[in-house]
Amino acid sequence: MGLLDGQRLVITGVLTDASLAYAVAELALAEGAEIILTGAGRGMSLTKRMARRLGDDLEVLAFDATDPADVTALTEALSSRWDRVDGALHAIGFAPAACLGESVMTAEWDDVATAVQISTFSLKSLAQAVAPLMTSGGSIVGLDFDAAVAWPEYNWMGVAKAGLESLTRYLARDLGPSGIRVNLIAAGPIRTMAASSIPGFNAFESAWNDRAPLGWDVADRTGVARAAVALLSTWFPQTTGSIIRVDGGYHAIGA
């Protein structure tokens, strides 16, 4: 038996085969899950291409987390295909270039608002779409980068991630009575399309490997995928509002 046998999952953020969401989708399928991917805008064609790579019959539904109409449409589309949803992966994030770089002081509100809406509020939008279909409880898992400290270059994306962590706790509080768990995985730096947009990302690579007691490989998505699949399964029935760190132990070691 697979860890996710019989589970029906919605997975966002599959843009390339190097993405964390792709690794989660691939492992979820191997563990017996039935999945539907979502895509939006110009990224839709990329998601459809990755869906074909994952399996011939995988469906991709439109979901722009910034559009309230898409939230309702996703609920309706899912309910027409499945009688329930068991889990969802939130792998949505974006910050305009002005929000990243040398100083947090350079970005204006319009850019910051974009970063917060897409990287933080989108978790609420996804939960709003899938929670009504989690009639037997369920699990929502988001991808995070530890926001407990200020990182070089990360700036407003770090602020958005801090909001994501706080929102996770509030969603866990509000959705818990319905048996819905909400957790985050704070991964160490992984070489993905999203990481390539962060100035100075390469500086993380050697520093992380030097400090993490378990070591770190920026090309290895296995640990994150396994943690996500475990949280999406029924093996953590009492875990919610938590941040699970998959970073080789980096967070626990002082500079």
pTM of the model: 0.96
Asked whether the predicted pLDDT for residue 31 surpasses 90, the reply is: yes
**Residue 35: inside a domain:** yes
Residue 252 lies in a domain: no
Residue 17: pLDDT band by 50, 70, 90 thresholds?
very high
Catalytic residue list: 154, 161
Tell me, what's the pLDDT at 108?
97
Task: Look at residue 84 and tell me if it is in a domain.
Answer: yes
Domains of the chain: total: 1
Beta bridge partners of 229: none
Contacts of 213 (CB under 8 A, 6+ apart): 248, 249, 252, 253
Domain that holds residue 85: 8-247
- Where residue 15 falls (left for φ over 0; alpha for ψ -120 to 50; beta otherwise) is alpha
- Residue 209 is predicted with a pLDDT of 82
Kindly state whether residue 123 falls inside one of the protein's structural domains: yes
| Beta-sheet pairing, 34-39 with 8-11 | parallel
Whether residue 177 is contained in a domain is answered as: yes
In a domain, residue 255? The reply is no
Q: What share of the chain is helix, strand, coil (3-state, %, to 5)?
A: 45, 15, 40
Domain assignment present for 1: no
- 53/204: higher pLDDT: 53
Specify the residue for token string 């979502």: 38
210 vs 213: CA distance, rounded Å: 8
198 or 209, which is more confident: 209
CATH of the domain at 204: 3.40.50.720
Percentage of the residues of the chain whose pLDDT score is greater than 90: 87
Query: pLDDT tens across 116-174, in order?
Result: 999 999 999 999 999 999 999 999 999 999 999 999 889 999 999 999 999 999 999 99
pLDDT above 90: residue 1: no
Is residue 18 in a domain? Answer: yes
φ, ψ at 206 (rounded to 5°):
-70, -35
- Give me the pLDDT at residue 65, please: 95
On whether the CB atoms of residues 119 and 139 are closer than 8 A, the answer is: no
Cα distances (angstroms) measured from residue 151 to each of 102, 220, 230: 11, 22, 28
Q: Mean pLDDT in the chain?
A: 94
Neighbours of 148 (CB within 10 A): 13
- In three state form, how does the secondary structure of 167-194 look? HHHHHHHHHHHHCEEEEEEEECCCCCHH
Check pLDDT > 80 for residue 197: no
Residue 217 in tokens: 């490989």
